[in-house]
Each structure stands twice: as C-alpha cells, then as structure tokens.
Amino acid sequence: MSSELEDTLAQTTAQLAIIHPAYENVAGRILMGRIHKETPDSFRECLEELTSGTRVAAKGSKILTDTFVDSAKILMPFLEVAMVKDRDFELPYFSVRAMEHCYLLRKETRIVERPQHMYMRIAVAIHGQELPSVVHTYNLLSSMYYVHSSPTMTNCGTVNARLTHSFAVSFDGRTEHGITRSMQQIMTLTAGGGDVGVSLANVPASGLIDTALTMTKGGVKVRRGVATVFIEPWHPDIDKFLELHEEFVMDTSRERAVFFGLWIPDLFMSRVAACEKWSLFDPEDVLELTKAFGDNFSLLYTDYEGQRLFRKELPARDIWSRILEVQRRTGGPNVVYKDNANRKSNQRHLGTVTHSTLCADLLQPCSTYETAVCNTATIVLPLFVNRERRLDFALLHDVSKVIVRNLNRIGIIGRYPSPTAAFGYSRNRSIGIGVLGLADAFIALRLAFESQAAIRMGGLILETIYHAAMEASCELVEEYGIYPTFMGSPLSNGQFQFDLWEEPVSNFRYNWDALRTKIRSQGVANSEVVVLMSTGDITQVSGHSEGCEPSIGNIFVRIMHAEEYVALSSNLVYDLEQDGLWNDEIRLQIMAAQGSVQSILPLPLWIKALYKTPWEINPRAVVDHAISRGPFVCQSQSLTLYIDNNTAEALDSLHFYAWRRGLKTGLFFLRSTTMNMFKRITSKIYQIALGESVDEE
C-alpha cells in the first residue's frame, strides 16, 4: 500500500473515533506503520542517515553535534538492545501526528526518526556515555512517565541546541535607543520559538500604545514564539491597553504572536473591594512604582497621590468592571497578583518580579543584563496510578528526582539565544517540573474532580514532587555547587515555599525539618524547581488531559494543523463497557447532550460525578485545587477557568477568592460557553456527531 493510501486510511479511521475511541488507537498504528516503512529500522541506521553527508538545505550545516554522535556510537550496541520498538505502536493517532509534525528529525523534508529514536536521542544527549542513566531516562521517556519541553524534544543532540523556551526580559521604554534594543532582544528570543514575557509598565503614557502597536503589528517579527506584554492598572493607558487586547483577539485574520497581561497590586484590589478612588500615573512621574511591592508600594502610591502627581482619578471599580468585561468577551488578558508573586518568591532578594510570560507561570526578576530563564519538564500523572487504583508516591518521588538531574544537565548542554539569557540561567539555575493528566489521574483513582479528597490528593502530589525536587537539588550541590544567588534567599534562611504562605500547610508526609537543616548547611543547586505551566503542545504527545485542568469533556474536537475530528472520552467509554452500559443508544444520548452524562438515566451516580464536563464543575473547585497545590509551587500555576454562567458577578467573585487566598496567578485564560469560539466548536461537534453538514464560518 502506498504512503498516501496509508495516510488516508489513518485519517479515515480516526474519523470513526466518534463511534469508539479504539479507532484512534487503530489509526495511530496505521500511521505509525507508514512512518516505520519510511524510516531506518535501527538507531544506528537512523544516525548514519542523519550524519552521512546530511546537510540542512536552509542552513548548510550538519544536524547532530559531534559530541552526541560520538557518545551514541560508543554506546550503540547497548542502545540497540535497550530500545523497545513496539512502544511506537502504543501511541494514539493524535500523538503520532503531533510527533510527525513537530518533533521527529527530518533530512530536508523527509522524516528520518521514529519516536523511540527520538527518546534515545534525548537520553544520550543529556547523559553522554553514562549508560545506566541513558537507559533509565530513555525508559522513563519512552514509557511516558514524563516528557521534556517541546524545544528539548526537537533540538536535544542537534547543533541548534536551544532546549528552553520560557524567558522574561526587561524592557527599556524610556528612550528610543532603549526601545530598539529591547525589541531586538525580544526578536532574538522569539525567533527560536521562545515564549517571552515583558513589562511595558515603565513605558511613558505618550509611548505605550505606540510601542504595543509596534509589537502587535509587525515591529517584532515573531517567527515561531510569542511575546506577552504586561502593564499595571495605574498606567494611564490601561483602557487603551484593554482595547488593543480586545481588538487583537477579535482579529482572526492573523496568527497571534503577542498576548496581554495585567500585573495587579493588592492596593488596587483593596480599593475595588471598598469602592474607592484609583489614580492613574505616568511612569515618568513615578519611576519607583514598578519596582515596589507590598507595603512599600502602598506607601509610595499614596505619597504620589498626596503630591497630586496623578494624570486622572476615577473609581477603582470602573477599571475593574472594564477588565471583567473584556475577559468575559475574549478570555483574557491574564491576571497575576503582583504582591502575592513577590512575597512568595525565592528570588525576592534579587529584585522585584515585574511580569510573567504567556501562561502566567514563570515568575522571576530580570534586568537589562539578566534574562530570566526556566528549563522545564512535565510529569504524566496517570502513569503513577497502579492497578489497585492507588497513586504510587514512592515512584513519583523517584522520577521527580531523576527529572531534576536531567534538567540540570539540560541547563549545561543547552545553547542560550543571548548572553543575558545564559547569564540569567547560570546565576539562578531555575528549573521547573510541571504535571499533566491530573484530571485523568483523578478518574483512575475514582476521585470526582470537585471532591475534597481530590483537592487534598492534588496537594499531596505536589508536595511529593516539591520534596523530591528540593532533596535532589540539595544532593546535586556536590556535583554543580550552590547556585550563585543562594545567599540571602528565603531558602538560605530555611524557608520553603510553603513557609512563605500565610495559611498553615499540613505537610506531614515528609520530614521537612531534616531537609530544611540539610539545605541551610549545604545549599541547593537550583533557585526554583516547580512550575505548573500550560501543557497544550505536549499534551497531544502524551494523550492525556491538559495540565491541572478538568477533563475537556466526554466528546470533543481534536484539532491538529489542518485536520480535525470528533472523539469520545476513552476513560468514559471503557468504564461504561466494564459495567455493561455502553451501547449505541448511550453514545447518541451523550452526543445529543454535547458530552454531558448528567441527564442520562441508566448511568450510575458515580459515573455522573466522575465525568462532569468542565462547565458542570464549580469553578471555585478549580481555584481550590490551585490553592491546595500553591504552597508547593515555587513559581506559579497556569490557571484556566471554565464558567458556564459567565456573568461579571461570577467572575468578580472568583478573582477576589483567588487573590484573598494568596494565589499568584488569578487567571491564564477564561473559557466560557458564551464565547463565540466555544459556540462554533460545540456546533461542529453536534453536526458532525449527528451526521449533518458542517457550515464553516
């Protein structure tokens, strides 16, 4: 059968996922069979094809580094034995497609790698000739216990060697030269696929919108990555900033490369709650405000008000209402609470954190000579639920420690896109372990997402990861030394992340006092170790639910590049089959209800509790989960909220609840049933599921 026919057969089979999720697995095997026919069978042959006279047409340079190739050749007999080729055929269709499009190495336009080759490439690139570590890392990756970030999977072992994608830069908006230099820095970082965060809060009122427009309308040539711009609500251009965000979101004619965020101080929230006045200042008149937080910010702000330096006074609630209105219409901008972020920062002795990145998760100070950097990897939580439906905390602890070691190795072998990024990593050695598939893990554990048991379990999972990461980082001091900015940090004073939270934390599972004593005397290799980032791209590779979010639903559209199809929740179908409840009538009822099982009478209550759609889960429970995890997250959490009843009052209540409970991130993205995109997707689900023609907008 020709490759074209196999590809068509795989696509057609995937379309049958609306009948049963097993078709996705069959489609994946068909597609993987085509890839196996077109690629070298052995790892040795794969490397030979990539190295023998291979030139990348666009760049005229070799693909793999000499160091990687030499290590692989020395270990090759052992690597061939260790590789488990059949694991390739365990991947569902959308995972295979994601790897094919994004991660597997190509010789010019033709794929040369298979997934197992990719995992072995990553393992060898990280560990060189250390065979036990290579094989152990390969097996963890190949069995999907964890995944590295997209740039690591794509570039590990290659001459590109850009293995990180999350950066925060300082923006000099006071002079034309400073703006030009800052723009060039952003372009350098995004050119390699970087996710770059920048604060425009110090750009004068006369220039902020021009600067933002320059970024959004082509001044920053974001070829692969994205830039996210933040301001604080005291800037006189706050309303224009929100208008620009709304205009940019609503313009679907261009690919989004610039996003928007708000950096909100406690004083603003307090005045909104008290229905008090709020003052807007030009940054040129109040140079210290962006670098101040907490009581210091409040004192400066009220002093500037007393001097009548403000450009405008208005009710704080007017600005807040405008923010809520825009979020309800567009899903953003994202919100980070400035004072919570800084009070709980292990780098607060180095300066003020003034902004985050796209997903509102990276929280580090930066300067003109130091770009904040974070190397990340993500644990796939469902893999840690055993056959007895219990979470294997010991295994989770062990794997977390391996990831810390691997991320430190990546920090060494990676190539940074700018001298300031290299300096930023070398000073702080920030790494971030995240998670995905939390909702799927709860289903496997038979815990309803809204339940207190699930909320407690989420906290225990993060406590385990945080303890393991801190322990491993302390052990790695012997190999890497203490990170240079350790002294003066909360950790150097024996304060863990949970010690920086005002609410007491029940951390009874591990001997934290013993680890505290050890760290105070020996130090740690890394300033930050846990960050719960959005996992959109790597979620497709894993085949599980995204990050810490509720499951997307029981029927949904998978969208990959120009291809899309409707699929059913495999967890739900298999559970119903186990109870003898799955049949075509039930399937049609689920489709007619657009994924909800709440009104389907034959289904038991435990199924209905376990398989609520995101819109049927109380959004406050999502915030409660974040609160439970927060004391064990060094940086922050990418928080997506789902609101069915998308009223200003409901959103207002959630924001204030998150802020008062100490969350650093109040919102990454708001999803609502009233948003046009949701209406389009649910309409497509309904029409495709019932065999009707789909009207494209």
Q: Which of 330, 350, 370 is the last residue of a domain?
A: 350
pLDDT of residue 222: 38
- Residue 221 above 80 pLDDT? no
Write out pLDDT tens, residues 423-437.
Answer: 999 999 999 999 999
Are both 251 and 308 inside the same structural domain? yes
Longest CA–CA separation in the chain, Å: 80
Backbone phi, psi, residue 344, to 5°: -105, 20
Per-residue pLDDT, averaged over 111-135, amounts to 98
Q: How far apart are CA 203 and CA 411, in angstroms?
A: 33
Same domain for 72 and 181, yes or no, is: no
Q: Is 557 part of a structural domain of the chain?
A: no
pLDDT of 157 higher than 50: yes
Q: Is 695 exposed, middle or buried (0-12, 13-18, 19+ CB in 10 A)?
A: exposed
DSSP state of 223: S
- Pick 224 or 365 by higher pLDDT: 365
Q: Is the pLDDT of residue 449 over 90?
A: yes
Residue 392 counted as domain residue: no
Helices (H), 217-315: 238-250, 266-273, 294-306
- Counting the structural domains of the chain, the total is 2
pLDDT, greater one: 217 or 77: 77
pLDDT band at 30 (very low <50, low <70, confident <90, very high): very high
Does the pLDDT of residue 445 top 80, yes or no?
yes
- Residue in 55, 168, 630, 136 with CA at minimum distance from that of residue 428: 168
Please tell me the distance from the alpha carbon of residue 409 to that of residue 478, in angstroms, as a whole number. Answer: 14
Contact 356, 665 (CB under 8 A): yes
Parallel, antiparallel or unpaired: strands 146-148 and 640-643: unpaired
CA distance 79 to 252: 47
**Within a domain: 39:** yes
The answer on 338 and 261 residing in a single domain is: yes
Q: Are residues 129 and 182 in the same domain?
A: no
Q: Distance between CA atoms of 31 and 94, rounded to whole angstroms?
A: 10
Contact (Cβ atoms closer than 8 angstroms) between residue 596 and residue 616? yes
| Domain hosting residue 80, numbered range | 1-143
Whether 75 and 21 share a structural domain: yes
Q: Assess if residue 40 is contained within a domain.
A: yes
Residue 450 lies in a domain: no
**Distance between CA atoms of 3 and 405, rounded to whole angstroms?**
41
Q: What confidence score (pLDDT) does residue 512 get?
A: 94
* CB distance 95 to 123 below 8 Å: no
- Residue 686 predicted with pLDDT over 60: no
Model confidence, pTM? 0.95
CATH of the domain at 306: 3.20.70.20
**CA–CA distance, 113 with 153 (Å, rounded to integer):** 12
Q: Distance between CA 470 and CA 494 in Å, rounded?
A: 12
Among the candidates 93, 110, 143, a domain finishes at 143
Mark whether 126 and 178 lie in a shared domain: no
Query: What is the rounded distance in angstroms from the CA atom of residue 335 to the CA atom of residue 263?
Result: 6
Query: Rounded mean pLDDT of 31-50?
Result: 97
What is the amino acid identity at position 335? V
User: Are the C-beta atoms of 524 and 484 separated by less than 8 Å?
Assistant: no
The answer to whether residue 35 is domain-embedded is yes
Residue 56 has pLDDT above 50, yes or no: no
Express each pLDDT in 236-258 by its tens digit: 999 999 999 998 888 776 667 78
What average pLDDT does the structure give for the chain? 92
Domain contains 345: yes
Separation CA 613–CA 323 (nearest Å): 27
What are the backbone angles phi and psi of residue 522, rounded to the nearest 5°? -110, -25
Higher pLDDT: 252 or 568? It is: 568
> Within 13 A of 301's CA, how many CA atoms are on the CB side?
24
- On the CB side of 611, CA atoms within 13 Å amount to 26
pLDDT grade for 219, boundaries at 50, 70 and 90: very low
Both 65 and 32 in one domain: the answer is yes
Average pLDDT over residues 253-265: 86
pLDDT of 620 > 90? The answer is: yes
Task: Give the model confidence (pLDDT) of 461-493 as tens digits.
Answer: 999 999 999 999 999 999 999 999 999 999 999
Question: How many angstroms from the chain centroid is the CA of residue 140?
Answer: 20
**Are the beta carbons of 486 and 524 closer than 8 angstroms?**
yes
* Whole-angstrom distance, CA of residue 587 vs CA of residue 101: 32
Query: Residue 164 and residue 364: Cα distance in Å, rounded?
Result: 15
Neighbouring-strand partners of residue 370 = 367
Worst-scoring range by mean pLDDT, 6-15, 115-124, 593-602, 671-680? 671-680
Cis check for the bond before 417: say yes or no (omega within 30 of 0): no
The span from the CA of 159 to the CA of 418, in Å, is 16
Asked whether the predicted pLDDT for residue 414 surpasses 90, the reply is: yes
- Using CA atoms of 598, 603, 605, 611 in order, give the dihedral in degrees to the nearest 10: -60
